[in-house]
Structure 1
Amino acid sequence: MSWKLTAFAHRDVVQAALVAHEEAWDWDAEVVLTGSEIAEDRPEDWVLEAYYPRRPTKADKAALAALFGGEAPAIEARKLPDADWVTLSQADVTPIRAGRFHVHTPDFPAMRENGTTDFVIPASQAFGTGQHETTAGCLAMLTEMKAAGVVIRNYADIGTGTGLLAFAARDLWPMAFGTASDIDPVCVSVVEDNAAGNGVPLGGGAGELVMTVAAGTDSPVIAGRAPYDLLIANILAGPLVELAPDFGRAVLPGGHLLLAGLLTTQEAAVRRACFRAGFRLARRMTNGDWSILWLRRRPDRSWPGR
């Protein structure tokens, strides 16, 4: 039995609620939230949808309303047909092209175009299908890094979700050592399945990918495979600020840091934290309301790691 709670509000209000949700560490992991515009000709009118594998309680409705901070919009409840409710939330996932990458679900064909890499990511996996502006922006920025002559031998993707950005890094630098991590243990099987479906070998050798569960960089696997000359973190502005010192310790002098998950209004705070950790901006791009930052660690600071 699946249910959905729906709230309609201005785009800024819904986006702020989504950010509050990501920062709510005690949020029920079974409840998936999505936010989107109601129609292409109404870009400022958005809907927030919360999918539940059960009938929502008063506490569930109160938790959703709390994401809006002040006065919450009206929240409507509706029972859904018996089906995969996460897949329903992602039913409109269409292929995207970002940089040299074409990302699609199994429902769509591969592009098979010279110079383009196809990745197939099932729509039932809510985050990391490439649809979100931050994921697509990272794919584009990774492509720019490669075109600029960046050479990567050891990379890590923090908060990997479906594994897509780690797969993209391996595609661009096929002999690099790869590490992917996520705070959610469910992502282990997700990444393993997607790696198998996209021909990405798992293991600890060159050209292979290691998957681990970790909060930020707090993992013996991540520490043991450091230092990195590329670290990717597509998470949220708050955690990016908190993790900036850890990123400074994990990235080699002269190494690269690719950050996303921050709104353009949050960029200044993230950049200040990274500046204090020894990073300088190499390039930035925006995708919708989101910033994607490519930073480099100052080459004159010794790595204070192992």
Structure 2
Amino acid sequence: MARKPASQNPVTPPADEAQEQSWQITLFGPRWQIEAALIAHEDAWDWDETVILSGCEIADDKPEDWRMDVFLPRKPAAADRAAIKALFAGDDGKGKAPKLIEERLPDQDWITLSQSGLEPIHAGRFIVHTPDFPVDAPEGIRAFTIPASRAFGTGHHATTAGCLTMLSLMKAEGLVVRNIADIGTGTGLLAFAGLHLWPRALATASDIDAACLGVVEHNIEINDIAPGAGLGQLTMLIADGMDDPVLQSRGPYDLLIANILAGPLIDLAPDFAKALVPGGSLLLAGLLSTQEEQVRAACRRAGLRIARRAVHGDWSVLWLRKRNDVRVRASRPGQLPDWAKKW
């Protein structure tokens, strides 16, 4: 599932490479251009995974001015420059990349540099941190360790933090959830949060990117999440949207989470509605505030109505509910499918 730009981190290279051959390429451009390039990077199946990309706004008071940083474990070669420029070519191949500014980095760990700014964040009932920034969570707060990785969802993007806050609000308002699915899960973080808030729920996480399988399995282990197909356990799948027999058989769902992009959210709105029980909740994020009305219109057509909304920076987070008078051919909310009853 398409995801928003985020800091990326592959397997750490050998120590001599990390210490002696660290280079950075920086590009400046408008937000739409940098975001489009980062999304193109997600779809570049032949990308060199030792080359790390991150994108962010230059300053809080200039949300439309962005930069992209590219970290390399070697001096940039012509092939590296060509690969970066290709990210800006667009569908017609005619797009022009901003100027590439190259810099040799000091002799220090380039992975740490690529993770700069990933200090712990506190959102709702959760703290999210990387292994490099351990925390002592206060009582009543659940801390999750999420290493920076190829998958989106370290909690530092406004959309992920906004979802954590909205999930906490759902729990505070008494929402009962027995069956959760996190579509486009990335690192698994939002599925983990859902299981923490509703520990007896059936939980499923899915992503279109096969690389997320190993990422989520690792994060399950380091965060003491129970893997499996039973109550209080998490099942991870590789699936395109809702188009997966296991994902469909485990429904209908009380709560669907989708922190992806506005386009897929619009396309998937009817599928989300079909997969929800009457009165079920849909948590959507990954849409800019300027895209919110289009997403909400698609959801209205599918029989979904807004319950709460929040804005985090330029991003909207929506909590929608399925109308009670919309019928679905499915089991009762939270009822286990026959194949899962053995767990």
Structure 2 vs 1, CA of residues 87 and 189 (structure 1 numbering), >3 Å: closer, same or farther? Answer: farther
Corresponding residue for 1:219?
Answer: 244
Corresponding residue for 1:252?
Answer: 277
For residues 58-207 of structure 1, the aligned pairs below 5 Å read: 59-66=82-89, 72-77=97-102, 88-124=113-149, 127-207=152-232
In terms of fraction of residues, the more strand-rich structure is: 1
- Structure 2: distance between partners of 1:248 and 1:114: 36
Structure 2 vs 1, CA of residues 197 and 61 (structure 1 numbering), >3 Å: closer, same or farther? Answer: closer
* Structure 1 position 27 matched with structure 2 position 44: yes
- Structure 1: distance between partners of 2:250 and 2:111: 34
Relative contact order, CA 8 A, sep 6+: which one is greater? 2
**Aligned-pair CA distance for 1:109:** 2.7
Preserved CA contact (<8 Å) 2:248 2:275: yes
Which 10-residue stretch deviates more, 104-113 or 80-89? 80-89
Report the secondary structure of 1:17's partner residue: helix
- Structure 2: distance between partners of 1:159 and 1:88: 27
- Structure 1: distance between partners of 2:322 and 2:107: 50
Preserved CA contact (<8 Å) 2:153 2:187: yes
Letter in 2 for 1:294: W
* Structure 1 position 296 matched with structure 2 position 316: no
Which 10-residue stretch deviates more, 282-291 or 20-29? 20-29
Which 10-residue stretch deviates more, 16-25 or 259-268? 16-25
Which 10-residue stretch deviates more, 208-217 or 17-26? 17-26
Letter in 2 for 1:17: I
Structure 2 vs 1, CA of residues 18 and 194 (structure 1 numbering), >3 Å: closer, same or farther? Answer: same
Corresponding residue for 2:334?
Answer: none
Preserved CA contact (<8 Å) 1:244 1:273: yes
- Structure 2: distance between partners of 1:142 and 1:33: 29
Corresponding residue for 2:34?
Answer: 17
- Structure 2: distance between partners of 1:305 and 1:21: 39
Which 10-residue stretch deviates more, 234-243 or 26-35? 26-35
* Structure 1 position 264 matched with structure 2 position 264: no
**Aligned-pair CA distance for 1:216:** 1.0
Preserved CA contact (<8 Å) 2:28 2:66: yes
- Structure 1: distance between partners of 2:211 and 2:109: 16
Which deviations, in whole Å up to 9, do the C-alpha atoms of 1:202-232 show, x marking residues without a partner? 0011000000101111111211101001000
Preserved CA contact (<8 Å) 2:251 2:275: yes
Q: TM-score, normalised by structure 2?
A: 0.79
Structure 2 vs 1, CA of residues 247 and 279 (structure 1 numbering), >3 Å: closer, same or farther? Answer: same
Report the secondary structure of 1:217's partner residue: coil
Corresponding residue for 2:5?
Answer: none
Preserved CA contact (<8 Å) 2:27 2:67: yes
Structure 2 vs 1, CA of residues 221 and 206 (structure 1 numbering), >3 Å: closer, same or farther? Answer: same
- Structure 1: distance between partners of 2:106 and 2:198: 44
Preserved CA contact (<8 Å) 2:305 2:323: yes
Corresponding residue for 1:282?
Answer: 307
- Structure 1: distance between partners of 2:155 and 2:229: 26
Corresponding residue for 1:36?
Answer: 56
- Structure 2: distance between partners of 1:194 and 1:25: 20
**Aligned-pair CA distance for 1:249:** 1.2
**Aligned-pair CA distance for 1:70:** 5.9
- Structure 1: distance between partners of 2:290 and 2:168: 25
Report the secondary structure of 2:278's partner residue: strand
Report the secondary structure of 1:271's partner residue: helix
Corresponding residue for 1:8?
Answer: 28
Preserved CA contact (<8 Å) 1:15 1:35: no
**Aligned-pair CA distance for 1:143:** 0.3
Report the secondary structure of 2:87's partner residue: helix
**Aligned-pair CA distance for 1:89:** 2.4
